[in-house]
Amino acid sequence: MAEDTQRNFRSVYYEKVGFRGVEEKKSLEILLKDDPLDIEKLCTFSQRFPLPSMYRGFVWKVLLGILPPHHESHAQVMMCRKEQYTDVLHALKVIRFVSDSTPQVDVYLRMYQLESGKLPRSPFFPLEPEDEVFLAIAKAMEEMVEDNVDCYWLIRCFVNQLNNKFRDSLPQLPKAFEQYLNLEDSRLLNHMKTCSVVTKLPYDLWFQKCFAGCLPESSLQRVWDKVISGSCKILVFVAVEILLTFKIKVMALNNAEKITKFLENIPQDSSDAIVSKAIDLWHKHCGTPVHSM
Amino acid sequence: MAQQANISELLSMLDSSALGVLDDITTVFKENLNSDRGPMLVNTLVDYYLETNSQQVLRILTTLQEPHDKTDTDVVILTTGVLVLITMLPMIPQSGKQYLHDFFDIFGRLSSWCLKNPGHVTEIYLVHLHASVYALFHRLYGMYPCNFVSFLRSHYSMKENLETFEEVVKPMMEHVRIHPELVTGSKDHELDPRRWKRLETHDVVIECAKISLDPTEASYEDGYSVSQQISARVDTQNSYGNATSTPYSTPRLALLNTPGQLPQVLSSTTRLSTEPSQATIWSPSAVCGMTTPPTSPGNVPPELSHPYSKVFGTSAGGKGTPLGTPATSPPPPCHSDDYVHISPPQAIVMPPKKEDRLDSVRPCLHRQHHLSNDRGLEETSDSKGSVTLRDLPRFLVDLDSEEDSVEKDKEEAAISKELSEITTADAEPVVPRGGFDSPFYRDSLPCSQRKSHSTSSNTQGPSVSTEPLTSSVDKLGPDTPKQAFTPIDRPCGCASESPAGNRENQTSLETNIFTPSPKIPSQRKVGFGSGQSPPYDHLFEVALPKTAYHFVSKKTEELLKKVKGNTEEDYMPSTSPVEVLDRLIQQGADAHTKELNKLSLPSKSVDWTHFGGSPPSDEIHTLRNQLLLLHNQLLYERFKRQQHALRNRRLLRKVIKATALEEHNAAMKDQLKLQEKDIQMWKASMRKEQARYKQLQEERETVVTQLHSQIRQLQHDREEFYNQSQELQTKLEDCRNMIADLRLELKKANNKVCHRELLLSQVSQKLSNSESVQQQMEFLNRQLLVLGEVNELYLEQLQNKHADTTQEVEMMKASYRKELEKNRSHLLQQNQRLDTSQKRILELESHLAKKDHLLLEQKKYLEDVKLQARGQLQAVESRYEAQKRIAQAFELEILDLYGRLEKDGLLKKLEEKTEAAEAAEERLDCCNEGCPDSLVGHNEEAAGRNGETKTPKSGSSRGSSGSRGGGGSSSSSSELSTPEKPPNQRVGPFSSRWETTLEPSTSIPVTVGSLPSSKSFLAIKARELFRNKSESQCDEDGLTNNSLSETLKTELYKDPSTEAKAPLGLDNPHPSPKNQESVGQLHIMDYNEIQHEPS
């Protein structure tokens, strides 16, 4: 109790002044002190609050299952992961799929392919669409994480989560997108319908690649916080928010192709605001996630 | 005559088209006219104009200078001119106005002429002239009253004209009313063309006639111009044919002063006052209707004359007129009879006669002969038409009828009676004023002298004429009151006509002679006439409403006149020039007939020359002129008649229309009556319905009130019932409450009863108990008694055996004491034991609790560890998976390479390949076979994969220790070899395993660390357990690890961590069995210990 009061006497003012994250960081630290780690609580926290960047990698790894909840086995498990990484990399080198000159992203892709048993017979075979998705995500992730092993594992598990956990919900997202856009701005939606651009929107970019390559990484990782913590619906709201932000431009454009093109290459400067608004919007429509336990 | 021829030449040249010639001739004419004062040239010009209608001549004539147009003093011409002017005036009201003053001048001049007679013409001519001036006066006054009056005013204000005014104009003015225009109009207004535009010629004539009071001139609106009709008839008697058709011969009626239509009574009264002279007016010809001129056929039924004549008769009898003919005598009745007989044939005869007359006149008026011819034709045709026309009104009048007539007649009769009385009273002869202008003036004087006679005769008249009276009464039927006068009338009329009386008689006789037809019986004629009198009378009745007023006023006026009657002046002006002329003609005609009678009949004209030598040319001339004048007069009158005919036709149309409308009105009235009847009927029925409705309403109301009262009663009842029910309900409530109370009480009572019963049962039980106790008591008492007895018995025995027992008892007591002490020590012992055992139980229970707690802790920890292990395992597993993939990839690569080699097709390579294949096979065999026995090979293989672990494994002394390398995490075996169990090599790995798990647990002071004693306890137990087991294993030392592992494997299948199952059986049999074994051991240990602990 004493500790609590000491910690919280400013907390009333933080929110008012506009500081966010001070409280969160502390509470996250408390959460991370637990042994074993409470995955559920971490998920809830990650959904409610932005993750401090210093803990982001760790939390992601825990949430994605790269690290087990028990602190004591972290080192051992990490060792194991690293060994696996080296083994796979070695194997690829042996079979000459990769070389030292191969870009890191491709290396990740090959490794992932190898591990999932989808390695093509020749490195020169054309890439599948899912590989493109992987590459996009890998590129974004590479920017965020420095360590190769961590990076590979994060990419791998992220993609796996997309492919397994969100396999059913991802195709529903375009519909949800239309629905929420209608609620927010039906005029815009009507305009888009009249332009018949609704079906041609960059859904792959938005929902398959999770905006990788669309938003700058600094903003993107905030979105991925939510995705990794188990909510792919945030993607819909980001998309909606993008449209709302660039509404005037979209309204001005009448051609479906132009709209799509514009949306695929939106300006990067307002992305932070977009993400913040999208998260607010998401909270507004889906409610603030509460720890269910 | 030469000049005459010259003139005719000139005249013919006048029409030449050459302008120069025209001017010359015109100037010649004008010069001529200026130079020559004789009328010759002018006359010729006029003649020429009349023949050729030459405009030039007209121009010349219109520019005639003074001498020509005024110098003419020929009365004939003057009269003709005046008449023409009079005739023209109504035709040119508008265009004539510029010559208005000329007209007035003409009038002024002629009127003075009449008086002064500058031309010294015969008085007979003057009469004619005077009549025409009189007509002119009427016309001018009728058409331009304001202008004319102002002219009169200015003209006669001059002294020299005063006489003329007094003598000529003033009497004329007595015959006119005040013209309405004098009041409403002005000089300019009279000349306004708009005034004349809507009037036709005959309208103008009638307008003029309206303002006239002279019956001959006067016209009464609505066409009751009776007088003319009558006069016409009278004329037929008096004159030959020429007079028959002319209306101007009716001076008798001149005094019908009333402006409107006068009823006969009125006229009679006026008659009375004015003119008795020609009361003999009644004419059968009128009855026949043959002679009546076409004028006013619709308006005046001929019967009108009849009453008039009677009335005249009376008036004549009552009064002396200035003209009053010597009322000497002829017996009146016969005269009247004569009339009756004579007139009809006269009428029939007349037309041819007239024709003759016209022929005789013709030489005088050469140029007018065709005109007269036309007139004649017209006349005949008109007369024919008049008959039919006249029939119509008569018919109409018949239709409408006599309803009022009787009444009226009676009234009139009364009045006339009164009048007759008055007249008789006033019958004094009036001195005729006479001396107007007319030649009759002189005649009138003798008349006046005779007047006294006539009056006296008249006064006697009624008595005398009773017979005819009665006869007439018979004839006339309903008209009795009027007829009362008739006898008076006729004789008087005859008497008044006395101067001409003889002649009259003669004429009538003559006419009798002349008539080709036999005499018509007078009775019949009269009957005829009188038979038709009622409808005629009725005609007056129609007019009566209008004339009622006049009647009264006239009456009073007349009475006034009577009062003033003595003054002659009143009567004097009543003689109009026309009348005078009329009379003149009459007389002239009489004279003429007389003359003719004297002569032989066949040819009169011849007679004069033939018989009486040359007739005095002067007289012939005079006669001719007179004839001419008469002819002129006739033409004028014809013109008037024509105008009247026109008007009458129009009026007739109006009458027809009016009657039609009246009929229509009557029909409408009938309809109206019918409808009113209907309405009344409906009203009645409505009233009935209303009454019924009221009745019904009342009934309904009564019913309603009844129902209301019923309702009220019922409501009242209902309320009562309601109250009752309320009361009952309250009662019911009370009852319920009571019942509830009672039930409660009942319950209570029941409870009480139950309680009582219970008590009762208890009591009964107690009783039974007590009873049993009593029984027992009794039994015990009995026993006591028995025992008492026994005691007594024993006491007796005791007393008997007294000494022996004491010792025995003491010994027994001692033994008892000892026994008691023994038992007491025993009890103590027992108690102590119990205490100890209880303590022991408590101790053990606490122990047990601790054990449970520990167990829970252990379980928790175990779960935790399991989770941790699972996490690690997953990582490892993924790694393994990756390895597998890698291997697959490698294999794929190898196979690929082989494929490529084969493709190269080199034998060498083939051999190498076989070797390589063998080597590969060997390796595979090693993998498969080397698993159970050769751990090294396996290790080597593993080292191939994981080089790092190779070195520590090689460093390890035994294969079993090498197997630890498979665990991966427990890398250093040196560390694991704990100092506690150096001897137990076999158990080492297990224990080490155990300890490695325990080591972190010790380092983390979580669960187990808190209970060191229990840990030690457990550890000891575990060690004991494991020791036993290891000992047993040591016994079976010969057995391989495999067997052990196999035995353990079965247990492992039950292990919840089934994930490790697959890798166990297949690829990694060596390291994992150990591992699993340890786990399995732990598992067993746990449960075993738990199970063993309490024992």
Q: At what angle do helices A104-115 and B805-904 cross, to 10 degrees?
A: 120
A87/B969 CB distance under 8 A? no
Residue in A80, A91, A115 closest to B890 by CB: A91
Q: Which residue has the higher pLDDT, B495 or B883?
A: B883
pLDDT of residue B759: 85
Residues 6+ positions from A185 with CB-CB distance below 8 Å: A243, A244, A247
A77/B883 CB distance under 8 A? no
Indicate the Cα dihedral angle A115, A120, A124, A129, nearest 10°.
-80
Structure tokens at B678: 């209907």
Query: Of B20-29, B66-75, B235-244, which gets the smallest average pLDDT?
Result: B235-244
Query: Measuring CA to CA, which residue among B175, B308, B298 is closest to residue B233?
Result: B308
Are the C-beta atoms of A159 and A134 separated by less than 8 Å? yes
Question: What mean pLDDT is reported for chain B?
Answer: 61
Distance from CA of A109 to the nearest CA of B (A): 14
Question: Any CB–CB contact under 8 A between B793 and chain A?
Answer: no
Per-residue pLDDT tens digits for B652-664:
899 999 999 999 9
B882/A77 CB distance under 8 A? no
Query: Of B517-526, B727-736, B889-898, which gets the smallest average pLDDT?
Result: B517-526
B215's enclosing H/E stretch is none
Examine the pLDDT at B39 and tell me if it is beyond 50: yes
Indicate the Cα dihedral angle B579, B582, B587, B592, nearest 10°.
170
Examine the pLDDT at B427 and tell me if it is beyond 50: no
Residues in chain A: 293
Examine the pLDDT at B410 and tell me if it is beyond 60: no
Amino acid, res. B6? N
| Best A93, A95, A110 residue to mutate vs chain B (most B CBs within 10 Å) | A95
Nearest CA in chain A to B870: A68
Examine the pLDDT at B647 and tell me if it is beyond 50: yes
Structure tokens at B785: 């008694």
Average pLDDT on B360-380 reads 40
Are the C-beta atoms of B350 and B241 separated by less than 8 Å? yes
Distance from CA of A68 to the nearest CA of B (A): 5
Predicted TM-score of the model (pTM) = 0.34
Question: Any CB–CB contact under 8 A between A95 and chain B?
Answer: yes
Structure tokens at B581: 């002329």
B867/A70 CB distance under 8 A? yes
Examine the pLDDT at B231 and tell me if it is beyond 50: no
Examine the pLDDT at B1092 and tell me if it is beyond 80: no
| Best B866, B872, B873, B949 residue to mutate vs chain A (most A CBs within 10 Å) | B872
| Best B860, B885, B891, B997 residue to mutate vs chain A (most A CBs within 10 Å) | B885
pLDDT of residue A114: 86
Per-residue pLDDT tens digits for B1035-1081:
444 444 444 444 444 444 444 444 444 444 444 444 444 444 444 44
B881/A115 CB distance under 8 A? yes
pLDDT of residue A7: 57
pLDDT of residue B1017: 52
Can you tell me the distance from the alpha carbon of B995 to that of B989, in angstroms, rounded to the nearest whole number?
9
Which residues between 1000 and 1039 in chain B have a beta carbon less than 8 angstroms from any beta carbon of chain A?
Answer: 1000
Coil, helix or strand for B295? coil
Which residues between 193 and 222 in chain B have a beta carbon less than 8 angstroms from any beta carbon of chain A?
Answer: none
Q: Which residue has the higher pLDDT, B694 or B391?
A: B694
Examine the pLDDT at B840 and tell me if it is beyond 90: yes
Per-residue pLDDT tens digits for B317-339:
333 333 434 433 344 333 433 34
Residue A212 pairs in a beta bridge with A215
Per-residue pLDDT tens digits for B579-605:
777 777 777 777 766 665 554 444 444
Structure tokens at B333: 């009745």
pLDDT of residue B7: 65
Can you tell me the distance from the alpha carbon of B289 to that of B302, in angstroms, rounded to the nearest whole number?
7
A117/B875 CB distance under 8 A? no
Residue in B874, B889, B968 closest to A119 by CB: B889
Q: Which residues of B touch A123 (CB under 8 A)?
A: none
Can you tell me the distance from the alpha carbon of A291 to that of B313, in angstroms, rounded to the nearest whole number?
154
Question: Any CB–CB contact under 8 A between A72 and chain B?
Answer: yes
Q: Which residues of B touch A65 (CB under 8 A)?
A: 874
| Angle ∠(B726,B728,B733) on CA atoms, nearest 5 | 95
Q: Which residue has the higher pLDDT, A138 or B314?
A: A138
| Best B886, B946, B1002 residue to mutate vs chain A (most A CBs within 10 Å) | B886
- Residue B1012 burial by CB count (10 A; 0-12/13-18/19+): exposed, middle or buried? exposed
Per-residue pLDDT tens digits for B740-782:
888 888 888 888 888 888 888 888 888 888 888 888 888 888 8
Give me the total of CB pairs closer than 8 Å, taking one residue from chain A and one from chain B. Answer: 74
Residues 6+ positions from B784 with CB-CB distance below 8 Å: none
pLDDT of residue B634: 82
B872/A94 CB distance under 8 A? no
B889/A115 CB distance under 8 A? no
Per-residue pLDDT tens digits for A23-38:
677 788 888 888 788 8
Can you tell me the distance from the alpha carbon of B764 to that of A118, in angstroms, rounded to the nearest whole number?
100
Are the C-beta atoms of B266 and B292 separated by less than 8 Å? no
Domain residue spans of chain B: 66-211, 693-799
pLDDT of residue B913: 59
* Range among B569-583, B625-639, B1006-1020 with highest mean pLDDT value: B625-639
Q: Enumerate domains of chain A plus CATH numbers.
A: 166-292 (1.10.472.80)
Q: Which residue has the higher pLDDT, B777 or B252?
A: B777
How many angstroms from the chain centroid is the CA of residue B171? 68
Q: Which residues of B touch A33 (CB under 8 A)?
A: none
DSSP labels, B157-178: TSHHHHHHIIIIIHHHHTTBPP
Can you tell me the distance from the alpha carbon of A284 to that of A288, in angstroms, rounded to the nearest whole number?
8
Residue in A72, A77, A114 closest to B885 by CB: A114
Q: Which residues of B touch A92 (CB under 8 A)?
A: 889
Examine the pLDDT at B372 and tell me if it is beyond 90: no
Can you tell me the distance from the alpha carbon of B424 to that of B611, in angstroms, rounded to the nearest whole number?
51
> CA distances (Å), B863 to each of B794, B854, B860, B1004, in order?
86, 14, 5, 16
pLDDT of residue B849: 95
What phi-psi label fits residue A218: left (phi over 0), alpha (psi between -120 and 50 degrees) or beta? alpha
Can you tell me the distance from the alpha carbon of B118 to that of B390, in angstroms, rounded to the nearest whole number?
47
Nearest CA in chain B to A120: B889
Query: Of B195-199, B452-456, B831-835, B844-848, which gets the smallest average pLDDT?
Result: B452-456
Can you tell me the distance from the alpha carbon of B271 to that of B309, in angstroms, rounded to the nearest whole number?
10
Q: Which residues of B touch A72 (CB under 8 A)?
A: 868, 1000
Are the C-beta atoms of B1052 and B1080 separated by less than 8 Å? yes
Q: At what angle do helices A234-245 and A271-286 cross, to 10 degrees?
A: 130
Q: Which residue has the higher pLDDT, B257 or B559?
A: B559
Q: Which residue has the higher pLDDT, B232 or B87?
A: B87
Distance from CA of B872 to the nearest CA of A (A): 6
Distance from CA of A45 to the nearest CA of B (A): 23
pLDDT of residue B545: 45
- State which residues of chain A have pLDDT below 70: 1-23, 288-293
Are the C-beta atoms of B280 and B262 separated by less than 8 Å? no
Nearest CA in chain A to B1003: A72
Nearest CA in chain B to A87: B883
Structure tokens at B1038: 């010969």
Structure tokens at A40: 């559920």
Q: What is the DSSP letter of A50?
A: P
B885/A115 CB distance under 8 A? yes
**Rg from Cα positions in chain B:** 90
Which residues between 884 and 903 in chain B have a beta carbon less than 8 angstroms from any beta carbon of chain A?
Answer: 885-886, 888-890, 892-893, 896
| Best A63, A81, A84, A116 residue to mutate vs chain B (most B CBs within 10 Å) | A84
pLDDT of residue B110: 79
Can you tell me the distance from the alpha carbon of A272 to that of A219, in angstroms, rounded to the nearest whole number?
5
Coil, helix or strand for A147? coil
pLDDT of residue B844: 95
pLDDT of residue B477: 39
pLDDT of residue B684: 92
Q: Which residues of A236-247 are buried (b: 16+ CB within 10 A; e: fewer)?
A: bbbbbbbbbbbe
- Residue B180 burial by CB count (10 A; 0-12/13-18/19+): exposed, middle or buried? exposed
Q: Which residue has the higher pLDDT, B582 or B1029?
A: B582
* Range among A163-177, B5-19, B600-614, B1027-1041 with highest mean pLDDT value: A163-177
Residues 6+ positions from B1060 with CB-CB distance below 8 Å: B873, B1052, B1072, B1076
Are the C-beta atoms of A203 and A174 separated by less than 8 Å? yes
Residue B828 — very low, low, confident or very high, per pLDDT cuts 50/70/90? very high
Rounded to whole angstroms, the maximal C-alpha distance in chain A is 64
Query: Of B465-479, B555-569, B635-649, B858-872, which gets the smallest average pLDDT?
Result: B465-479
Indicate the Cα dihedral angle B137, B140, B145, B147, nearest 10°.
-110
Average pLDDT on B867-895 reads 87
Examine the pLDDT at B182 and tell me if it is beyond 50: yes
Residue B484 — very low, low, confident or very high, per pLDDT cuts 50/70/90? very low
Can you tell me the distance from the alpha carbon of A86 to that of A99, in angstroms, rounded to the nearest whole number?
14
Question: Any CB–CB contact under 8 A between A75 and chain B?
Answer: no
Distance from CA of A114 to the nearest CA of B (A): 6
Are the C-beta atoms of A27 and A45 separated by less than 8 Å? yes
